[in-house]
């Protein structure tokens, strides 16, 4: 009842929001509208300023599986769910006769004994950090069924504060090897600290002649939300790279995974980005990358070949241009883990990941050069460890205490302080080493 009450209350709060799908004036039916594929029709200026949140909340309320999951979380808590997921993955691997991740890597990595290998003394050791990734909040206008951070319009409390955001900028300045600030969520743009972080990071980088790539991990539909009409101009002004979710170039697949009306809004948002110069050869400084993730328990196809398909289909049908396609494997955690368990496919999926282990992906694991920071300032090896609560444990660099603790941004003087700690691994890590590998930057091998 708690979950349903929360959703119902949220729906009431958004009664004034525009409907997520509005057929343009002069169009008789939604079906007849879909027959048109001209850029003018798909640009959908009528959607600008309308919110997707009300429809998302209604879909969540009608989703029986989501309601069951909400009740379960209320009963055993998030930590209890995480423990249950881990047990399920471990049970599957035990039945397959597969050891823990690091033992498997050592047994199957021909380069583990070389100086270049990150595998040393039976552990995974990081290199110099070059990417600072901040999850600045879990609030989102969508509730995608594959979301490993379980974002939704209900996640209003988990949001980064101004003091934590400011400390993250200080760490960026104190970490000379970091050349990328990667902002994610939720929908990071809906967080109060998003523009603060972008504006000050770009200003600092410009004033200090330091090359800095700023990434906005964008769900696209946020560009059409109320009070976001200037968002594209803001991103352009600060030369922010847009990495946008687009799990398919077909409407049915996208809406099934991300919610009703999301595909049309995504197309409209991409056209808006193109109009500003993003993804076009005339503006190489305005990078627009798309992200594909499978719709089910299977591995992504070749990133290179799929990019060709995406560029052909999106250009021919909608006139959309973009730079690169990034393929990401679904990790067996959170909502996707719940799906696998309900379908009785956890063992099958873990077997798929193990059987497709690729030793060449180990050197490109994102945990080696990325530092992930949660909305509460706690520091992690990667975004996946963050969602599982696997923080980096060590001694604070800013206090006299020698007691080990889960480190946060106020315990560090620089991100290079983390170099003495090995990467925390577990059985979900098989997701990053299967096939062509997987990271927030796409395939790794």
Q: pLDDT by residue (tens digit) across 311-355?
A: 999 999 999 999 999 999 999 998 899 889 989 999 999 999 999
**Cβ atoms < 10 Å from Cβ of 75:** 10
Categorise residue 389: left if φ over 0, alpha if ψ from -120 to 50, beta otherwise. left
Q: How far apart are CA 25 and CA 337, in angstroms?
A: 42
pLDDT at 114 over 70: no
CA distances from 192 to 148, 165, 384 (A): 22, 10, 24
The mean pLDDT of 377-396, rounded to a whole number, is: 95
> What value does the mean pLDDT take over residues 86-115?
88
Question: Residue 64 — pLDDT band, cuts 50, 70, 90?
Answer: confident
Cβ neighbours for 133, distance < 8 A, ≥ 6 positions apart: 182, 183, 184, 370, 371, 372, 373, 383, 440
d(CA 302, CA 313): 17
pLDDT at 30 over 60: no
pLDDT score recorded for residue 367: 97
Q: Are the C-beta atoms of residues 147 and 335 closer than 8 Å to each other?
A: yes
Q: What is the model's pLDDT at position 146?
A: 79
Residue 403's pLDDT is: 80
Q: What is the pLDDT of residue 16?
A: 34
Which one is predicted more confidently, 104 or 30?
A: 104
Q: Whole-angstrom Cα distance, residue 142 to residue 151?
A: 7
Helix (H, G, I), strand (E, B) or coil at 378: strand
Taking a C-beta distance cutoff of 8 angstroms, is the pair 395, 401 a contact?
A: yes
Q: What pLDDT does 112 receive?
A: 55
CA atoms within 13 A on the CB side of 244: 33
What's the rounded mean pLDDT across residues 221-232? 97
Mean pLDDT in residue range 190-202:
97
Rounded CA-CA distance 236/214 in Å is 11
Per the prediction, the chain carries an average pLDDT of: 89
Give phi and psi for 186, each to the nearest 5: 35, -165
Q: Averaged over 289-307, what is the pLDDT?
A: 95
Question: Residue 326 is encoded by which pair of tokens?
Answer: 């990034």
pLDDT at 32: 41
Kindly indicate the confidence band of residue 424, based on its pLDDT and cuts at 50, 70 and 90.
very high
Summarised one tens digit per residue, pLDDT across range 234-275 is 999 999 999 999 999 999 999 988 999 999 999 999 999 999
pLDDT at 131 over 50: yes
3-state helix, strand, coil in the chain (%, to 5): 45, 15, 40
How many angstroms separate the CA atoms of 443 and 432, rounded? 9
CA distance to 225, 231, 286, 290, per residue, from 282 (Å)? 28, 21, 9, 19
């Amino acid at each position: 009842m708690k979950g349903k009450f929360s959703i119902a209350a949220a729906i009431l709060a958004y009664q004034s929001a525009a409907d997520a799908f509005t057929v343009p004036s002069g169009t008789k039916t939604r079906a007849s509208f879909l027959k048109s594929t001209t850029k003018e029709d798909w640009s959908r200026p009528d959607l600008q300023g309308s919110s997707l949140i009300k429809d998302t909340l209604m879909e969540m309320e009608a989703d029986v599986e989501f309601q069951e999951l909400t009740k379960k979380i209320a009963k055993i808590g998030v930590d209890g769910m995480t423990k249950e997921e881990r047990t399920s993955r471990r049970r599957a691997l035990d039945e397959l006769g597969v050891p823990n991740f690091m033992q498997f890597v050592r047994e199957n990595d021909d380069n583990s004994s070389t100086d270049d290998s990150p595998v040393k003394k039976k552990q995974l050791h990081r290199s110099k950090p070059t990417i600072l990734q901040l999850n600045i909040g879990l609030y989102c206008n969508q509730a995608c069924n594959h979301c490993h951070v379980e974002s939704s319009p209900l996640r209003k409390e988990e949001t980064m504060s101004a003091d934590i955001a400011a400390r993250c900028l200080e760490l960026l300045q104190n970490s000379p090897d970091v050349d990328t600030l990667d902002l994610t969520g939720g929908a990071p743009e809906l967080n109060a600290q998003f523009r603060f972080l972008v504006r000050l990071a770009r200003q600092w980088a410009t004033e200090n002649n330091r090359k800095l790539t700023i990434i906005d991990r964008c769900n696209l539909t946020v560009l059409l939300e109320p009070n976001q009409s200037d968002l594209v101009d803001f991103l352009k002004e600060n030369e922010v790279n847009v990495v946008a979710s687009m799990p398919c170039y077909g409407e049915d697949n996208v809406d099934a995974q991300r919610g009703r009306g999301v595909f049309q809004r995504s197309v409209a948002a991409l056209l808006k980005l193109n109009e500003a110069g993003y993804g076009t050869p005339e503006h190489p400084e305005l990078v627009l990358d798309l992200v594909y993730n499978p719709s089910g328990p299977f591995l992504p196809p070749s990133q290179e070949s799929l990019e060709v398909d995406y560029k052909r289909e999106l250009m021919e049908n909608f006139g959309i241009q973009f730079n690169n396609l990034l393929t990401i494997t679904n990790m067996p955690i959170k909502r996707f883990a719940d799906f696998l368990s309900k379908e009785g496919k956890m063992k099958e999926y873990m077997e798929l990941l193990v059987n497709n282990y690729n030793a060449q992906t180990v050197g490109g694991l994102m945990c080696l050069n990325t530092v992930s920071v949660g909305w509460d300032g706690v520091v992690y090896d990667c975004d996946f460890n963050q969602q599982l609560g696997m923080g980096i444990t060590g001694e604070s660099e800013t206090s006299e205490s020698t007691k080990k603790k889960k480190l946060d941004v106020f315990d560090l003087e620089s991100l290079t302080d983390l170099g003495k700690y090995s990467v925390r691994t577990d059985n979900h890590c098989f997701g990053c080493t299967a096939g062509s590998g997987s990271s927030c930057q796409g395939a790794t091998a």
